[in-house]
A and B are shown apart, each in its own frame.
Chain A
Amino acid sequence: MKGESNTSIHVTKLIRLIRLSVVLLFAFIGSMIFFVFSLSINSSPQPIETAVSTEVLDDADWDKIENGIHVRTGLIDSEGLMAVVSNCTNCHSAKLLTQNRMSADQWNETIKWMQETQNLWDLGGNQEIIVKYLTTNYPYKKKGRRAILSNIEWYELED
């Protein structure tokens, strides 16, 4: 079971690599031809170079971290991040994780429920890492029996 998930991750990586090479190839051919043409029709090859570098960056940025956040998933960059990204953002987005604030027990129970009913695979040693990551970075905050109203946007009421 664990092997299966690893394989699928490798396959995804491989596909991404192939995609990248195909685009680089196209981009290279494109630049060459535009370069040749630009000599005769006097157009600048500049925009293409910019475009190419953007594309390459996009792919290299697949797992980019910005201001401590994993951009693609919105998850906090911290120990265990990639275990969560590769096991918990396949079926649903990470928004379902970050909305929920649970104890380690509850996370383990939720994982068990997904394994029994939702086709989640055996996480092996990653389970502890994932649960630690979630309880550390998305801790439970007390709300009491009724919270005060917050985040109020004040506005003049016109009639």
Chain B
Amino acid sequence: MERRKFIKQAALSSFATLIGTDIVFGSKLLDGYVPLAMQDPDPFALFSKDKGMVVLNDKPWNIEATADLLDDKVTPNSSMFIRNNGKVPEELDASTWTLTIDGESVSTKKTYTLADLKSKFQHHTYQLVIECGGNGRKEFDPPAKGNQWGVGAIHCASWTGVRLSDVLKDAGIKDDAVYIGFHAVDVHLSGDPEKEPISRGCPMSKALQDETILAFKMNGKNIPKIHGYPLRLVAGGWPASVSGKWINRISIRNKVHDGTKMNGKAYRVPCKPVAPGDKVKDEDMCIIESMPVKSLITYPKSGALLKKGKTLKIRGHAWAGELEVAKMEYSIDFGSTWNACTLEKPVNRLAWQHFTSEIEFPKTGYYEVWARATDTNGVAQPMILPGWNPKGYLNNACHRIALKVT
């Protein structure tokens, strides 16, 4: 780097000496020249992420956490996964930001400034689980298309904003309203301004829930740019793609929203179960709504060496989409026997729940600790991969960590 700066200055000053004046565009010209490899930004510094985060893709940015990085009760920005469908918008000005409510089923199309939203409607803060629909995709066999997420495309941060229902009602919802669809300012990867990278939504019933909010704060601060500054739709418990970032328009639709990634195979699973690897027609794919029951052991990190006779304290989180987790268990014998963990209630609906337990090991050797959550409908996490689907969504198989007692 130093050498580059040096030659740049050397070249510029010599050129200036030659023509006897400063070169106005000189710095720009040479800036553009710095070889691509040198421009590669450091994503950890760029987005204030923990160095332990895993970069799956750098264009577009897709970065996930490891289980142990998600140990906090409220996920800090440094451990929050990043999923982008397009290019991150460059200019984001909160002072001129507006949100328009339109669509076939709005009574009167209305535009609000960000200041309007903040002053006109009551503020609410909720801790909300946002999990990528493809979290765990990596494990499917035959492999499923897309970013190969491990376990870390999930977070539960604290979001502050106004209820989407308050805003929609202020604009007026017609009786024939079925769905909402969001629109945002991010740019398609091909650069085509006519194309939206993603424009998804949810049925009115989800849109009108108390916890579905238009957020302008995350963990008490302005939302980081990469997570949707200055306005993000947050719909906890549903695939993260419903929680649109950089939102500037919401359409109230009289039919299921048909924006980008609502159709084809995106965020859909076969309506009826299929065998692994089966071809499924688009019309036989159904939209994912609530995410399934799931849990993560966030302490200790996999690979612990434990002295014999010591008690192992484990902890983690469990969540169940629209539902609550009713029971949390662990096993150290590959599911032959299960033991109950202590499970906390969620701080609010759609927040994850924390669990702890203490484990004694009968003898030295290799162990795996498996965690299993059961939701209020009595549905538990499977130990092996759940139903295969072409895009590898909804893998809620039990999380496990390896451990040796020495």
Contact = CB atoms under 8 A, between A and B. Distances in A.
A159 B400 CA distance: 21
B57 A149 contact: no
Given A99-B56, A110-B145, A72 B37 contact: yes
Interface in A72-111: 72, 91-93, 95-96, 99-103, 106, 110
Nearest to A113: B264
Nearest to B55: A95
A26 B27 CA distance: 12
Interface in B11-45: 11-12, 14-15, 17-18, 29-30, 32-33, 35-37
Nearest to B194: A119
Given A100-B148, A152-B402, A155-B303, A93 B58 contact: yes
B4 A51 contact: yes
A88 B146 CA distance: 15
B4 A149 contact: no
Contacts, number: 134
Given A30-B14, A145-B385, A155-B304, A51 B142 contact: no
A146 B188 CA distance: 36
B271 interface: no
A145 to B, nearest CB: 4
Nearest to B299: A157
Most chain B CB within 10 A, of A120, A152, A154, A157, is at A157
Contact of B145 (A102, A142, A152): A102
B189 A118 contact: yes
Interface residues of B, number: 58
Nearest to A120: B190
Interface string A116-152: 0111100000000000000000001011111101001
B60 interface: yes
Given A93-B59, A119-B195, A51 B3 contact: yes
Contacts of B310: 159
A140 B139 contact: no
Nearest to A54: B3
A11 interface: no
A19 B300 CA distance: 52
B404 interface: yes
Interface string B286-329: 00000000000000111111100010100000000000000000
B384 interface: yes
Contacts of A118: 188-190, 195
Nearest to A33: B14
Contacts of B404: 154
B274 interface: no
Given A34-B10, A142-B141, A147-B139, A95 B56 contact: yes
Contact of B148 (A22, A50, A99, A147): A99
B57 A96 contact: yes
B385 A99 contact: no
A58 interface: yes
A3 interface: no
Contacts of B139: 143, 146-147
B303 A153 contact: yes
Given A26-B15, A33-B14, A157-B300, A117 B264 contact: yes
A30 B141 contact: no
Contacts of B55: 95
Nearest to B260: A117
A14 interface: no
A22 B126 CA distance: 56
B192 interface: yes
A47 B6 contact: yes
A154 B3 contact: no
A34 B368 CA distance: 66
Contact of B383 (A50, A100, A143, A146): A146
A149 B400 contact: yes
A92 B57 contact: yes
A156 B146 CA distance: 36
Contact of B302 (A23, A152, A159): A152
A59 interface: yes
B57 A47 contact: no
Given A118-B189, A142-B141, A155-B305, A34 B14 contact: yes
Interface string B382-406: 0111000000000001001110100
B46 interface: no
Given A29-B11, A142-B141, A58 B305 contact: no
A52 interface: yes
Interface string B110-148: 000000000000000000000000000001111101111
A110 B60 CA distance: 17
Interface of A: 19, 22-23, 26-27, 29-30, 32-34, 47-48, 50-52, 54-55, 58-59, 72, 91-93, 95-96, 99-103, 106, 110, 113, 117-120, 140, 142-147, 149, 152-157, 159
Given A103-B142, A143-B141, 18 more contacts: A30-B7, A34-B10, A72-B36, A91-B59, A93-B57, A99-B56, A100-B143, A100-B145, A102-B145, A118-B190, A118-B195, A120-B190, A140-B143, A145-B141, A149-B401, A152-B302, A152-B303, A159-B310
